């Protein structure tokens, strides 16, 4: 858990200090006050681009130094990330005062979030669902980020070679890149598939409640029954014409079904889709707790606003049962009635005040 969080020149915060005193950290205030900015800062303590997926230079405070910093105390270790004014798009990570790759953050914190933008998860492109699944996988498999990065790097290099019509293809270099894609792509697909299986098992054992129960499946790409390196080698000309690789785990999709209705999540109501997402998130928190010996940090942005009072109470009980730290935002303090022990902060114009 995060014992201490500090922000410097981040978004609309010149500086801020938050010291959680309970498992629930409740952030209330008007829209635009900076509640989600705090969740975004926490999300940067994991590998990746944070819950907004924003470019780094956008995170630095306007009128500030041009860089930003986010740091936290976690189990006696200080971890932090940020940028310098002279390199605003270069992310730096320090753990215990020593520079590290961003992937090393996963060894200290598992962080999962749910934002209003994710309400469209089941109706948007497959890429959004893959990124969602990868974030869940990363919380259990810290090496997943390395596999994803190396797979994408090899794929980009191969695409660049195939797109160069000014000279003949370097067959040996293409073959080497395709072997790398097969190696790291195989690891990606295996890790995703294992997580889907484990989530389904956890969801099957979950108690009945007010939230819809989903089942998950990971679709395979065309020709997935054959070795990927072979598919890539045979598909070079088609891939060159399409300007992208047509085979590989970047073509798979996460398929979610509402079990009780036997209906695809994309065809469910907005409320049902939110319930399905919450069920997946809670099951995942249980898996992380079992595997890592500690649950993930959950970031829930405006999640209570669309639930009726009985479902809110049920959600708070389920969240408390995870044993993890939960950061939640809302415009009104009344949304969190039913949570007894909490660190309650009012957010206004980039300042966090105890309530």
What digits encode the pLDDT tens for the residues 245-272? Answer: 999 999 999 999 999 999 999 999 888 8
pLDDT at 342 over 90: yes
Q: What CA–CA distance (Å, rounded) separates 267 from 349? A: 39
pLDDT at 196 over 90: yes
Q: Which stretches does DSSP call E strand in 29-121?
A: 68-74, 77-84, 87-95, 98-100, 111-114
Task: Give the tokens for residue 169.
Answer: 């293809």
Give φ, ψ of 318 to 5 degrees: -65, -40
pLDDT at 18: 97
pLDDT at 210 over 80: no
Task: Give the tokens for residue 34.
Answer: 């900076």
CATH topology of domain 1-109+296-355: Rossmann fold (3.40.50)
Collapsed DSSP state (helix, strand, coil) of residue 7: strand
pLDDT digits (tens, 9 = 90+) for 290-333: 998 888 999 999 998 878 888 888 899 989 988 999 999 999 99
pLDDT at 211 over 90: no
Angle at 287 between CA 286 and CA 293, to 5 degrees: 85
**If residue 132 lies in a helix (H) or strand (E), which one and from where to where?**
helix 126-140
Contacts of 248 (CB under 8 A, 6+ apart): 151, 155, 181, 185, 221, 228, 231, 232
Q: How confident is the model at residue 107 (pLDDT cuts 50, 70, 90)?
A: confident
Q: What CA–CA distance (Å, rounded) separates 262 from 275? A: 15
The answer to whether the beta carbons of residues 41 and 70 sit under 8 Å apart is yes
pLDDT at 209 over 80: no
Q: How confident is the model at residue 23 (pLDDT cuts 50, 70, 90)?
A: very high
pLDDT at 294: 87
């Amino acid at each position: 858990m995060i014992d201490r969080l500090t922000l410097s020149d981040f978004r609309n915060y010149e500086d801020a200090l938050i010291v959680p005193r309970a498992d629930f950290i409740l952030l209330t205030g008007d829209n635009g006050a900076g509640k989600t900015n705090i969740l975004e800062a926490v999300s940067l303590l994991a590998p990746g681009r944070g819950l907004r997926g924003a470019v780094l230079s956008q995170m630095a405070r306007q009128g500030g130094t041009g860089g930003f910093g986010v740091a936290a105390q976690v189990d006696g270790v200080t971890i932090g990330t940020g940028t310098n004014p002279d390199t605003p798009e270069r992310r730096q990570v320090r753990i215990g005062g020593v520079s590290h790759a961003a992937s090393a953050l996963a060894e200290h914190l598992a962080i999962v979030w749910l934002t209003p933008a994710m309400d469209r998860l089941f109706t948007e492109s497959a890429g959004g669902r893959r990124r969602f699944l990868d974030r869940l996988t990363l919380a259990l498999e810290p090496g997943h980020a390395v596999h994803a990065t190396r797979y994408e790097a090899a794929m980009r290099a191969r695409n660049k070679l195939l797109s160069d019509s000014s000279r003949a293809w370097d067959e040996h270099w293409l073959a080497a890149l395709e072997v790398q894609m097969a190696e790291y792509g195989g690891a990606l697909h295996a890790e995703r598939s294992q997580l889907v299986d484990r989530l389904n098992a956890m969801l099957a054992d979950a108690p009945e409640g007010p939230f819809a129960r989903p089942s998950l499946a990971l679709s395979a790409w065309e020709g997935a029954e054959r070795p990927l390196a072979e598919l890539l080698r045979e598909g070079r000309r088609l891939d060159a014409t399409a300007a992208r690789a047509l085979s590989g785990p970047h073509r798979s999709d996460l398929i979610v079904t509402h079990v009780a209705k036997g209906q695809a999540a994309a065809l469910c109501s907005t409320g049902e889709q939110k319930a399905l997402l919450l069920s997946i998130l809670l099951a995942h928190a249980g898996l992380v707790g079992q595997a890592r010996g500690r649950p993930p940090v959950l970031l829930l942005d405006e999640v209570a606003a669309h639930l009726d009072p009985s479902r809110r109470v049920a959600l708070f009980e389920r969240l408390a049962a995870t044993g993890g730290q939960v950061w939640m935002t809302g415009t009104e303090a009344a949304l969190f009635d039913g949570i007894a022990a909490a660190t309650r902060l009012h957010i206004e114009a980039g300042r966090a005040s105890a309530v």
